[in-house]
Amino acid sequence: MFQIRKICCIGAGYVGGPTCSVIASMCPEIKVTVVDVNEARIKAWNSDTLPIYEPGLDEVVLSCRGKNLFFSTDIDSAIKEADLVFISVLSNPEFLAEGTAVKDLKEPDRVLIGGDETTEGQKAIQALCEVYEHWVPKSRIITTNTWSSELSKLAANAFLAQRISSINSISALCESTGADVEEVARAIGMDQRIGSKFLKASVGFGGSCFQKDVLNLVYLCEALNLPEVASYWQQVIDMNEYQRKRFACRIIDCLFNTVTGKKIALLGFSFKKDTGDTRESSSIYISKYLMDEGANLHIYDPKVLKEQIIQDLSQPSISGDNPQRVLELVTVTSDPYEACKSAHALVICTEWDMFKDLDYEKIHNQMLKPAFIFDGRRVLDHLHPQLQSLGFQIETIGKKVTTRLPFTPSGGVPRITLNEPPNKKSKA
């Protein structure tokens, strides 16, 4: 039986880097080389500061780098000497969740390997199975044909995104009726047929996979003349955009129908906690809507670099033909208290645990009054009595506000409106 001794992974990003680092860690007799055309990225993988943040990844890389794990820009040589080549692990769809990627790799629910139904294809599948069998039980390794493998990946992420959009749609109903979406989610999640995972209402899902994979599914359905199926999955994306826009409109509405010239502290920019990844983060779109209204944003995130935040907000899809407005309206700070100082409102967009432990009495004393908190992740639910006693006006996802401060509308009309249909994104 053919045995794999050398592996080459093309792509040193969020998938290739962690996946092959864990393979090297679990298979010390296999030489694993991760290659990329991006010299700066490879240099970072070979340094003490890795290019991505992932809990537990530093320890894994340090334990085998220079022994059987190597990062290089010499792509041709790595491919020539390899017994197996991963192209960003596309031959072996990953089911990693950022923030728990190392754990997901070491203790996977399943490993899915797809290949051609030919003699050569089956040999390749078997060889890759033997790599994973170093630490994954055979019962968790699934082998399929290539189409089943790829569709399983798209369907898995589409189903998870659908659950998030479903509970977010219920959150809007809860805010209009007096129900609490957390209580509803708990009640339906105890039904074993439904389960409790991915029923956390928020400002919407982000990350590199959910939207991309749902849109790939939409495109595939349209290409195969299945318009009803395409329309069904497109609604998952539309609901996600609606939730982001709805949250931004709520901020504007509560701040006396205008945020022009007002300082707003935005806490959290990564698409979720325990990662520095900002791809498709809801924070980007919340920022866009508030910048469209002329708000002055002061942004803090414990893991996202200032350069990344400015780059994300300067994209043409976010700033149009006026990227200069980002420099005028956005300040990135390394201190959450500085971000909140003299702010009209504090907006939580990422569920970083540290936001639960901030000194909110200090923050309230430094903010302009009335001081608003908009909790887009429901991380401060347990602090509501304390925050209200301090004088905060609290707005949160999926829960009706019983009392609001009275105000006289300014007469201004926000430039964003929920009546507008969601912008259709180009299909992947």
**pLDDT, tens digit, for every residue of 27-55?**
999 999 999 999 999 999 999 999 998 99
This prediction's pTM: 0.87
Assign 3 a pLDDT band (cuts: 50, 70, 90). Answer: confident
pLDDT at 44: 96
Is 244 labelled a binding residue?
A: no
Per-residue pLDDT of 301-313, as tens digits, reads: 999 999 999 999 9
Point out which residues pair with 149 in neighbouring strands. Answer: none
290 to 31, 261, 334, 416: CA distances (angstroms): 49, 10, 21, 9
The predicted-structure confidence for 372-426, as pLDDT tens digits, reads as follows 999 999 999 999 999 999 999 999 999 986 566 655 444 455 667 776 545 545 4
CA 220-423-291 angle, 5° bins? 140
Residue 426: its pLDDT value, please?
A: 46
Torsion of CA 8, 13, 14, 15, to 10 degrees: -30
Report whether 185 contacts 167 (CB < 8 A): yes
More confident residue, 116 or 374: 374
| Top-ranked range on mean pLDDT: pick from 108-117, 257-266, 414-423 | 257-266
Closest CA relative to residue 18, chosen from 134, 100, 77: 100
Which residue type occupies 233?
Answer: W
Q: How do beta strands 111-115 and 141-145 pair?
A: parallel
Q: Is 254 annotated as a binding residue?
A: no
Please tell me the predicted confidence (pLDDT) of residue 422: 52
Give the mean pLDDT of 311-327. Answer: 94
**Residue 217: other Cβ atoms inside 10 A:** 24
Please determine, looking at this structure, whether the domain spanning 6-136 carries the CATH number 3.40.50.720: yes
How many residues are there in the chain? 428
Task: Report pLDDT for 411.
Answer: 45
In the chain, which residues fall in CATH 3.40.50.720? 6-136, 151-238, 242-396
Q: Is the pLDDT of residue 25 over 50?
A: yes
SS3 assignment for the chain: CCCCCEEEEECCCCCHHHHHHHHHHHCCCCEEEEECCCHHHHHHHCCCCCCCCCCCHHHHHHHHECCCEEEECCHHHHHHHCCEEEECCCCCCCCCCCCCHHHHHHCCCCEEEEECCCHHHHHHHHHHHHHHCCCCCHHHEEEEEHHHHHHHHHHHHHHHHHHHHHHHHHHHHHHHHCCEHHHHHHHHHCCCCCCCCCCCCCCCCCCCCHHHHHHHHHHHHHHCCCHHHHHHHHHHHHHHHHHHHHHHHHHHHHCCCCCCCCEEEEECCCCCCCCCCCCCCHHHHHHHHHHHCCCEEEEECCCCCHHHHHHHHCCHHHHCCCCHHHHHHEEECCCHHHHHCCCCEEEECCCCHHHHCCCHHHHHHHCCCCCEEEECCCCCHHHHHHHHHHCCEEEECCECCCCCCCCCCCCCCCCCCCCCCCCCCCCC
The CB-side HSE value for 44 (13 A sphere, CA atoms) comes to: 14
CATH architecture of the region 151-238: 3-Layer(aba) Sandwich (3.40)
Catalytic residue positions, numbered = 209
CA distance 369 to 156: 46
Residue 178 known to bind ligand: no
Flag the least confident range among 108-117, 249-258, 329-338.
108-117
Domain 242-396 listed as CATH 1.10.10.10: no
Is 272 marked within a binding site?
yes
Q: Are 55 and 18 in contact (CB under 8 A)?
A: no
Residue 65 assigned to a binding site: no
pLDDT of residue 165: 98
Average pLDDT, the chain: 92
Lowest mean pLDDT among 83-87, 149-153, 239-243: 83-87
Contact 364, 371 (CB under 8 A): yes
Q: What integer is the mean pLDDT of 155-181?
A: 97
Percent of the chain exceeding pLDDT 90 equals 84
Beta partners for 112? 142
Q: Check the annotation: does 212 bind a ligand.
A: yes
